[in-house]
Chain A
Amino acid sequence: MKNDLLVTSVLFMPLVGMIALMLWPNARAAQFKWIALGTSIITFGLSLVLLATFDTRVAGLQHEHLYQWLAFGNFKISYYVAVDGLSIWLILLTTVIMPLAILFSLESIKTRVRLYYIFLMVIEFAMLGVFVAQDLFLFYIFWEISLVPMYFLIGIWGAENRVFAAVKFFIYTMVGSLLMLLAILWLGNHFGTFNVRDILAQVQAAAATTTSAYPSGTVEAALFLAFFLAFAIKVPIWPFHSWLPDAHVQAPTAGSVILAGVMLKLGTYGLIRFCIPLFPHAAVTFAPWIAILAVIGILYGAWVSYAQTDVKKLVAYSSISHLGFVVLGIFSLTSAGINGAVLQMVNHGISTGGLFLLVGMLYERRHTKAMDAFGGIWKVMPLFSALSLVIFLSSVGLPGLNGFVGEFTILLGTFGSPVLGGIFAAFATVGVILAAVYLLQLWNHIFMGNVKWQENLHLPPIRWNEYAALTVVVILALIIGLYPKPFFGAMDATNGSISAQAQRYIAEPPPPIAAVPAVPVAVVQEQEVTR
Chain B
Amino acid sequence: MFNFATLVPWMVFLPLIGMGINLVYGKRLGERNVGLIASAAVGIPFLIAVGLGMWLAQNNFAAALINPPILDGWISIPSAALEIPWQFRVDTLSVTMMLVITGVGFLIHVYSIGYMHGDARYPRFFVYLNLFVAFMLILVSANNFLMMFVGWEGVGLCSFLLIGFWFDRKKGEGWRNSNAARKAFIVNRVGDFGFMLAIFLTFWTFGTLDYSKPGEAALRAPDTTITDSVSGQITTSAVVVKPIPGVGVFGMAQQWLNEGGHKVRFGSWDVSFTVVLTLITLFMLLGVTGKSAQLPLMTWLPDAMAGPTPVSALIHAATMVTAGIYLITRSNVFFHGSPFTSGVVTLVGALTAAYAGFIAIGQWDIKKVLAYSTVSQLGFMVAAAGVGAYTVAFFHLVTHAFFKGLLFLSAGSVIHGVEHGNHAVSAHGDVGAHGSTHSTHDDHFTLDESTDVAAHGSTHGATNTPIAEEADHEAPFDAQDMRNMGGLRTKMPTTFWVYLIGTLALAGIFPFAGFWSKDDILAATFQAALGDGQIVAYLAFGLLLLAAFFTAFYMWRQIRLVFLGKPRTVAADHAVESAPVMLWPLIILAALAAVGGALNLPTAFESVLGGFKPEILSNWLAHSVTFVPEVSFNIVLAITALGVAVGAILIANYVYGRANPLTKKGDDPLMARTETRRIFELSNAKLFHDEIYDVTVVQPFIRASDTLAGPIDRGIIDRGFLGIGGLVRGIAYRLRGLQTGYVRTYTVTMLVGVLIVLFVILYPLLRQLAGGQ
State the A residues within 8 Å of B (CB): 160, 171-172, 239-243, 300, 303-304, 306-308, 334-336, 339, 366-370, 372-373, 375-376, 378-379, 393, 398-400, 404-405, 408-409, 411-413, 415-418, 421-422, 425-426, 429-430, 432-433, 436-437, 440-441, 443-444, 447-455, 457, 482-485, 488-489, 492-493, 495-497, 499-500, 503, 506, 508-514, 516-531
Q: Give 8 nearest A-B pairs by CB, closest first.
A: A496-B79, A518-B231, A368-B462, A307-B709, A513-B241, A448-B178, A336-B80, A415-B200
Asked if A422 and B201 sit within 8 Å, CB to CB, the answer is: yes
Please tell me if B463 contacts chain A, counting CB pairs below 8 Å.
yes
Residues A513 and B243 in contact in the complex (CB < 8 Å), given A415-B204, A527-B254: yes
Q: Could you say which of B1-9, B215-223, B410-418, B478-486 contacts chain A? A: B215-223
Q: Could you say which of B97-105, B568-576, B623-631, B741-749 contacts chain A? A: B623-631
Asked if B459 and A440 sit within 8 Å, CB to CB, the answer is: no
Minimum Cβ distance to chain A for residue B185 (Å): 6
User: Which of B146, B164, B243, B245 meets A408, CB within 8 Å?
Assistant: B146
Minimum Cβ distance to chain B for residue A429 (Å): 5
Please tell me if B426 contacts chain A, counting CB pairs below 8 Å.
no
Please tell me if B203 contacts chain A, counting CB pairs below 8 Å.
yes
Q: Would you list 11 pairs from A and B whose C-beta atoms are within 8 A, ordered by A residue?
A: A304-B713, A307-B710, A375-B450, A416-B203, A425-B197, A437-B701, A503-B239, A510-B239, A512-B240, A517-B234, A518-B245
Chain B contacts for A510, CB-based, 8 A:
238-239, 265, 267-268
Q: How far is the CA of A496 from the CA of B239 in the complex (A)?
A: 13
CB nearest neighbor in A for B464: A453
Minimum Cβ distance to chain A for residue B408 (Å): 24
Chain A contacts for B146, CB-based, 8 A:
399, 408
Q: How far is the CA of A305 from the CA of B174 in the complex (A)?
A: 24
Asked if A509 and B238 sit within 8 Å, CB to CB, the answer is: yes
Q: Could you say which of B395-403, B521-529, B717-725, B762-770 contacts chain A? A: B717-725
Q: How far is the CA of A482 from the CA of B459 in the complex (A)?
A: 41
Asked if B175 and A516 sit within 8 Å, CB to CB, the answer is: no
Chain A contacts for B72, CB-based, 8 A:
485
New contact pairs (8) apart from A242-B718, A425-B200, A524-B251, CB-CB < 8 Å: A335-B77, A433-B190, A449-B178, A449-B450, A451-B168, A451-B467, A452-B450, A524-B247
Asked if A335 and B168 sit within 8 Å, CB to CB, the answer is: no
Please tell me if B154 contacts chain A, counting CB pairs below 8 Å.
yes
Provide the main secondary structure of the chain A interface: helix
CB nearest neighbor in A for B718: A242
User: Which of B74, B203, B721 meets A172, CB within 8 Å?
Assistant: B721
User: Which of A171, A373, A516, A531 meets B244, CB within 8 Å?
Assistant: A516
Asked if A449 and B200 sit within 8 Å, CB to CB, the answer is: no
Residues A239 and B717 in contact in the complex (CB < 8 Å), given A393-B157, A421-B267, A441-B447: yes
Asked if B708 and A482 sit within 8 Å, CB to CB, the answer is: no
Interface hits, B255-287 → A, CB 8 Å: 255, 258-259, 264-268
Number of A-B pairs, beta carbon distance below 8 Å: 314
Q: How far is the CA of A422 from the CA of B205 in the complex (A)?
A: 12
User: Which of B182, B240, B247, B701 meets A521, CB within 8 Å?
Assistant: B247
Q: How far is the CA of A506 from the CA of B197 in the complex (A)?
A: 25
Q: How far is the CA of A449 from the CA of B710 in the complex (A)?
A: 27
Please tell me if B150 contacts chain A, counting CB pairs below 8 Å.
yes
CB nearest neighbor in A for B462: A368
Interface hits, B703-740 → A, CB 8 Å: 704-706, 708-710, 713, 717-718, 720-722, 725
Q: How far is the CA of A62 from the CA of B266 in the complex (A)?
A: 37
CB nearest neighbor in A for B127: A386
Residues A452 and B451 in contact in the complex (CB < 8 Å), given A242-B721, A484-B74, A516-B243: yes
Residues A521 and B243 in contact in the complex (CB < 8 Å), given A172-B721, A421-B266, A485-B72: no
Chain B contacts for A522, CB-based, 8 A:
226, 228
Asked if B258 and A523 sit within 8 Å, CB to CB, the answer is: yes
Asked if A453 and B465 sit within 8 Å, CB to CB, the answer is: yes
Minimum Cβ distance to chain A for residue B215 (Å): 11
Q: How far is the CA of A386 from the CA of B685 in the complex (A)?
A: 37
User: Which of B186, B259, B710 meets A520, CB within 8 Å?
Assistant: B259
Chain B contacts for A339, CB-based, 8 A:
77, 79-80
Q: How far is the CA of A32 from the CA of B66 in the complex (A)?
A: 54
Chain A contacts for B459, CB-based, 8 A:
368-370, 372-373
Residues A450 and B170 in contact in the complex (CB < 8 Å), given A339-B77, A513-B264: yes
**Cβ contacts B162-173/A at 8 Å (1 or 0 each):** 001001111000
Q: How far is the CA of A404 from the CA of B460 in the complex (A)?
A: 37
CB nearest neighbor in B for A445: B450
Residues A370 and B456 in contact in the complex (CB < 8 Å), given A485-B73, A514-B242: yes
Asked if B266 and A450 sit within 8 Å, CB to CB, the answer is: no
Q: How far is the CA of A497 from the CA of B77 in the complex (A)?
A: 12
Asked if B462 and A455 sit within 8 Å, CB to CB, the answer is: yes
Minimum Cβ distance to chain B for residue A419 (Å): 9
Q: How far is the CA of A372 from the CA of B508 in the complex (A)?
A: 51
Q: How far is the CA of A495 from the CA of B717 in the complex (A)?
A: 34
Most chain B CB within 10 A, of A378, A393, A416, is at A416
Asked if B193 and A514 sit within 8 Å, CB to CB, the answer is: no
Q: How far is the CA of A453 from the CA of B458 in the complex (A)?
A: 11
Minimum Cβ distance to chain B for residue A281 (Å): 16
Q: How far is the CA of A304 from the CA of B710 in the complex (A)?
A: 9
Please tell me if B82 contacts chain A, counting CB pairs below 8 Å.
yes
Asked if B174 and A448 sit within 8 Å, CB to CB, the answer is: yes
Q: How far is the CA of A146 from the CA of B464 in the complex (A)?
A: 39
Q: How far is the CA of A422 from the CA of B243 in the complex (A)?
A: 20
Chain B contacts for A376, CB-based, 8 A:
167-168, 174
Asked if B238 and A418 sit within 8 Å, CB to CB, the answer is: yes
Chain A contacts for B587, CB-based, 8 A:
none
Most chain B CB within 10 A, of A366, A436, A524, is at A524
Chain B contacts for A528, CB-based, 8 A:
220, 222
CB nearest neighbor in B for A308: B709
Minimum Cβ distance to chain B for residue A340 (Å): 8
Q: How far is the CA of A482 from the CA of B207 in the complex (A)?
A: 22
Q: How far is the CA of A336 from the CA of B237 in the complex (A)?
A: 12
Interface hits, B177-231 → A, CB 8 Å: 178-179, 181-182, 185-186, 189-190, 192-193, 196-197, 199-201, 203-204, 207, 216, 219-220, 222, 224, 226, 228, 230-231
CB nearest neighbor in B for A483: B71
Chain B contacts for A452, CB-based, 8 A:
450-451, 453, 466-467
Please tell me if B622 contacts chain A, counting CB pairs below 8 Å.
yes
Please tell me if B236 contacts chain A, counting CB pairs below 8 Å.
yes
Chain A contacts for B154, CB-based, 8 A:
398-400
Asked if B230 and A411 sit within 8 Å, CB to CB, the answer is: no
Residues A483 and B74 in contact in the complex (CB < 8 Å), given A430-B193, A453-B466, A521-B247: yes
Chain B contacts for A454, CB-based, 8 A:
465-467
Chain B contacts for A425, CB-based, 8 A:
197, 200
Minimum Cβ distance to chain B for residue A188 (Å): 28
**Cβ contacts B447-475/A at 8 Å (1 or 0 each):** 10011010010011111111100000000
Chain B contacts for A520, CB-based, 8 A:
244, 255, 259
Chain A contacts for B362, CB-based, 8 A:
none
CB nearest neighbor in A for B243: A516
Asked if A444 and B717 sit within 8 Å, CB to CB, the answer is: no
Chain B contacts for A514, CB-based, 8 A:
207, 234, 236, 241-243
Residues A242 and B713 in contact in the complex (CB < 8 Å), given A372-B456, A429-B197, A483-B71: yes
CB nearest neighbor in B for A299: B708
Asked if B150 and A450 sit within 8 Å, CB to CB, the answer is: no
Asked if A503 and B238 sit within 8 Å, CB to CB, the answer is: yes
Chain B contacts for A241, CB-based, 8 A:
717
Asked if B462 and A433 sit within 8 Å, CB to CB, the answer is: no
Chain B contacts for A440, CB-based, 8 A:
182, 185-186
Please tell me if B531 contacts chain A, counting CB pairs below 8 Å.
no
Minimum Cβ distance to chain A for residue B630 (Å): 8
Q: How far is the CA of A172 from the CA of B241 in the complex (A)?
A: 44
Q: How far is the CA of A31 from the CA of B626 in the complex (A)?
A: 70
Minimum Cβ distance to chain A for residue B621 (Å): 10
Residues A413 and B80 in contact in the complex (CB < 8 Å), given A449-B175, A506-B238: yes
